[in-house]
Amino acid sequence: MKFFIDTANLDEIAEAQALGVLDGVTTNPSLMAKEGITGEENIINHYKKICDIVEGDVSAEVISTDFDGMVKEGEALAALNPQIVVKLPLIADGIKACKYFSDKGIKTNVTLVFSAGQALLAAKAGATYVSPFLGRLDDISTDGLNLIAEIRQIYDNYAFDTQILAASIRHTMHVIDCAKLGSDVMTGPLKSITGLLKHPLTDIGLAKFLEDYKKGNS
Ligand code: G3P
Is the per-residue pLDDT at 49 higher than 90?
A: yes
Helix (H) or strand (E) holding 174: helix 172-181
- Return the bridge partners of 111, or none: 89
200's enclosing H/E stretch is helix 200-216
DSSP-based three-state secondary structure for 46? helix
Which residues fall within 8 angstroms of residue 163, CB to CB, at 6 or more apart? 2, 128, 129, 130, 184, 185
CA-proximal residue: ligand 1, atom 10 (nearest)? 168
Q: Cβ distance 165 to 137 under 8 Å? A: no
Question: Quick one: pLDDT at residue 139?
Answer: 97
φ/ψ of 4, rounded to 5, equals: -110, 150
Tens of pLDDT along 144-182?
Answer: 999 999 999 999 999 999 999 999 999 999 999 999 999
Q: How far is the CA of 102 from the centre of ligand 1 (A)?
A: 24
Asked whether 132 and 166 are in contact (CB, 8 A), the reply is yes
Q: How confident is the model at residue 140 (pLDDT cuts 50, 70, 90)?
A: very high
Report the atom number in ligand 1 closest to the C-alpha of 133.
2
Mean pLDDT of 96-108: 98
Per-residue pLDDT, 12: 98
Please give all residues whose beta carbon lies within 6 A of any atom in ligand 1, as ranges. Answer: 6, 26, 28, 131, 133, 135-136, 167-168, 187
With bands split at pLDDT 50, 70 and 90, how would you rate the model's confidence at 218? Answer: confident
pLDDT category of residue 135 using cuts at 50, 70 and 90: very high
Q: Whose CA is nearest to atom 9 of ligand 1?
A: 168
| Helix (H/G/I), strand (E/B), else coil: 75 | helix
Strands (E), 73-205: 84-89, 108-113, 129-132, 163-166, 185-188
- What pLDDT is stored for residue 168 in this prediction? 98
What is the atom index within ligand 1 of the atom nearest the CA of 189? 7
Q: Hey, whose CA ends up nearest to atom 3 of ligand 1?
A: 168
Residue 19 confidence class, pLDDT cut points 50, 70, 90: very high
CA of 150 to the centre of ligand 1 (A): 20
Task: Give the phi and the psi of residue 26 in degrees, each rounded to 5.
Answer: -120, 145
Per-residue pLDDT band for 107 (boundaries 50, 70, 90) equals very high
Is pLDDT of 52 > 90? yes
Task: Examine the residue annotation and report whether 208 is marked as an active-site residue of this protein.
Answer: no
Tell me, in angstroms, the distance from the centre of ligand 1 to residue 21's CA: 20
Closest alpha carbon to 150 in 168, 132, 175: 132
Instruction: Examine the pLDDT at 97 and tell me if it is beyond 90.
Output: yes
Q: Which residue's alpha carbon is at the smallest distance from atom 7 of ligand 1?
A: 168
Task: Please identify which of the residues 49, 87, 99, 180 carries the catalytic annotation.
Answer: 87
Contact between residue 6 and residue 26 where contact means Cβ atoms under 8 Å apart: yes
| pLDDT above 90 for 74 | yes
Query: pLDDT grade, residue 142 (50/70/90)?
Result: very high
3-state class (DSSP) for residue 143: coil
Question: 208 by DSSP, 3-state: which?
Answer: helix
Mean of pLDDT values over 77-96? 98
Local structure of 152: helix, strand or coil: helix
3-state secondary structure at position 164: strand
